[in-house]
Amino acid sequence: MAVNLMACVQTSAQRLKLMPTPLIYTNAVTQSLASAELSADAPYEGVLYITDRAPVAIEKRIDKLKEYSKERNPFFSAGLNSVVLNQYGKNQLSISKVETFGILKSALPFGRLTDLDELEQAKGGDERLISLINRKLEVSQQKDIFIYVHGAHDSFDSPPLIAGELWHYLGYEGVMINFLWPATTARFGYFKDTENAQVSGHNLGKLIRYLADNTKARKIHLVSHSAGGRLVVTALRELAIAKDNVGGKIGNAMLIASDLNPTVFAIAISDGIAELPSRLTVYGSSKDTALGVSSFLFKELRLGQLKDDETLPAHLIELFDISNIDVIDVSGAPKILASHGHSYFRSSPWVSSDVISVLRFGLTPSQRSLSREQGRVAWKFPMSYVQDIENLPLNETFKN
């Protein structure tokens, strides 16, 4: 039962109440952007997905949304989750259908180690996916791709709702893609998820390269939650070791409530992962009791359990002075205790404000009104944060 505490945000019957409006939209400059609507010129409605989950045979599908299982697949499939707002009530997100494009033939996670005869007979999804991405980028002011990577113990149909609400507050700019890796909802499936995360992290690196090569995206941003951080760190580490910066297209990489060993993160930093993204942001909270369960199981603190600087090894702390990494301690933010203190990026308008301020507006910690004590690693929210955000001189910031 305790292992279930490490689950990602769970939804009920493919529905999710839209998270509170991020505080950044109380500023006079951004208020008009808070209630975004998808452009009429957009080529699709919903959130694109790419998955390395195995498809479910038609005769075994429970309903129209159960297209994929919790098992691993040796190749990528792509499609569209139709995410609808207000269909079942005000500020309610829901999934109306899942559309499958097919296999991405030109992006094989394991190289050419799969059944090529089967692959040649399969319907290809490359052309449809790339066409939709590029058409959406053409009508967007922010010509970027955002990839949301969910955590452990998550089904196929809940992450698209979370990605959908993030995209809503990003103003439906750019392209939002769910990377749906084979996490399991089984009660004791956490350790299988740990192994799958390693494999899918390798696959995510292949996917980043594929999108960089085949789309017109200016930047590719990575937003991960919980165990999803393992995938992002694995992907970036493999790219860094290979000296592949994918054309400098990796923008922001976010590790939110990361269920990752800090020493593993330190090793990845020493291997050069901070050289790939424009900025690497680590969010953590000392009140995250879900990560406390993981810490108990592994007998070591997790990266997302920030307790001032105690969680970070001394050799890692030294790296922050020479790298583009921001550590954000959200322990003092209000409304962070939802889902055992693990889903604060949705429940707290302060934290969601910070996330959106980075992804949509490109603000630095000081521009976001965060503060940091001299000699400390982590940035924190000041007591005056509400007033500070309302009075931020964003007109001048955006001009610069």
Model pLDDT for residues 19-52, shown as the tens digit of each residue = 999 999 999 888 888 877 888 889 998 999 999 9
* pLDDT tops 60 at residue 10: no
* CB 311, CB 288: distance < 8 Å: no
* pLDDT tops 60 at residue 323: yes
Counting the structural domains of the chain, the total is 1
Residue that is written with structure tokens 């604060």 in the block:
344
Domain assignment present for 387: yes
Q: Report the candidate in 123, 122, 100, 126 with the shortest Cα–Cα distance to residue 207.
A: 126
- Which residues face 55 on adjacent strands? 68
Domain assignment present for 348: yes
Domain assignment present for 72: yes
Q: Report the candidate in 139, 144, 14 with the shortest Cα–Cα distance to residue 83.
A: 14
Greatest alpha-carbon pair distance for the chain in Å reads 62
What does the pLDDT read at residue 6?
46
* pLDDT tops 60 at residue 143: yes
What does the pLDDT read at residue 41?
87
Query: Chain centroid to CA 18: how far?
Result: 17
SS3 of 208-259: the string is HHHHHHHCCCCEEEEEEECCHHHHHHHHHHHHHHCCCCHHHCEEEEEEECCC
3-state secondary structure of 96: strand
List pLDDT tens digits, range 165-193. 999 999 999 999 999 999 876 666 566 77
Contacts of 298 (CB under 8 A, 6+ apart): 261
List pLDDT tens digits, range 201-234. 999 999 999 999 999 999 999 999 999 999 999 9
Structural domain of residue 231, as residue ranges?
A: 2-6+26-399
Whole-angstrom distance, CA of residue 338 vs CA of residue 315: 33
Domain assignment present for 361: yes
- Which residues face 81 on adjacent strands? 47, 98
Contacts of 345 (CB under 8 A, 6+ apart): 225, 256, 257, 283, 351, 352, 355
What does the pLDDT read at residue 5?
43
CB atoms within 10 A of CB 312: 25
Domain assignment present for 18: no
Q: What is the CATH number of the domain that holds 301?
A: 3.40.50.1820
3-state secondary structure of 35: coil
Q: Looking at 109-118, 141-150, 193-202, 354-363, which range is the least confident one?
A: 109-118
* pLDDT tops 70 at residue 13: no
Domain assignment present for 269: yes
CA-to-CA separations, 137 to 80, 173, 206, 274, in angstroms, rounded: 16, 8, 21, 26
The four Cα atoms 335, 336, 337, 343 give a dihedral, to 10 degrees, of 130
Q: pLDDT grade, residue 123 (50/70/90)?
A: low
Domain assignment present for 16: no
Q: What is the mean pLDDT of the chain?
A: 85
